[in-house]
Amino acid sequence: MSTLTALRETVAGLHRELTRYNLVSWTAGNISARVPGEDLMVIKPSGVSYDDLSADTMVVTDLHGNLVEGDLSPSSDTDAHAYVYRHMPEVGGVAHTHSSYATAWAARGEPIPCVLTMIADEFGGAIPVGPFALIGDDSIGRGIVETLRESRSPAVLMRQHGPFTVGKDARAAVKAAVLLEEVARTVHFAHQLGTPDAIGQDDVDRLYARYQNVYGQ
């Protein structure tokens, strides 16, 4: 199986995780993966039902959003994904959802504070807010890159739009999207009871280092 064929299958399969965890509605949201060693990416087609997604419906574009392979138009967020790949070479996957709680924080333009060990583990501190940007060109991508360059977080809450997450591959980006919604919901509930205390920076650093370098197999 070629790398491109395998990536098509992986990206198609990961879209089912977005519906499994209730992170998207209708046809909103998208996942992409960088093609290793090539200036290409695999991304979801625009406006196609999640039930109809398959390896064959995934499209391939270059890192300027130009269609290279596929019969369908690429996602409306393609330019944003492409900008991230061009300017963050360490990123191998990007995910975008409109998950309810994370998007509510984005609507408020408020970072999610680091008040849970899970936030310290996965995001390395508060989850930042990016600028408002219109869909249709690389403005969203510029906002993502500018924000994440100043943060350890793999997630950014694009103001009045929704969350984008990045990772070393597409699976890591989707994992970050799932955990982002979990902590966004929990911190929202915590705020209904009062103002939760932020974890101290030294403890955040220790938690982040342990999770990123020791946790797991």
Whose tokens are 């984005």? That residue is: 106
What domains are there in the chain, each with its CATH number? Answer: 3-213 (3.40.225.10)
From CA 139, how far away is CA 58, in angstroms rounded? 24
From CA 187, how far away is CA 127, in angstroms rounded? 12
Label residue 217 by pLDDT band (50, 70, 90): confident
- Read off the pLDDT of each residue in 168-191 and give the average, rounded to a whole number: 98
pLDDT, tens digit, for every residue of 78-134?
A: 999 999 999 999 999 999 999 999 999 999 999 999 999 999 999 999 999 999 999
Question: What is the DSSP track for 72-108?
Answer: SPBPTTHHHHHHHHHH-TT--EEEE---HHHHHHHHH
**Token pair of 55, please?**
């390896």
Q: How many residues does the chain have?
A: 217
From CA 197, how far away is CA 45, in angstroms rounded? 42
DSSP 51: G
From CA 43, how far away is CA 75, in angstroms rounded? 7
At residue 24, the 3 state secondary structure works out as coil
- Read off the pLDDT of each residue in 192-204 and give the average, rounded to a whole number: 98
pLDDT of residue 213: 96
Residue among 157, 215, 7, 177 at smallest CA distance from 92 = 7
- Read off the pLDDT of each residue in 197-204 and give the average, rounded to a whole number: 98
User: What residues act catalytically?
Assistant: 121, 215
Percent of the chain predicted with pLDDT > 70:
100
From CA 91, how far away is CA 108, in angstroms rounded? 27
Residue among 171, 176, 175 at smallest CA distance from 12 = 171
pLDDT, tens digit, for every residue of 147-173?
A: 999 999 999 999 999 999 999 999 999
Label residue 1 by pLDDT band (50, 70, 90): low
DSSP 200: P
pLDDT of residue 136: 87
- Read off the pLDDT of each residue in 65-85 and give the average, rounded to a whole number: 97
Pairing of strands 129-130, 155-158: parallel
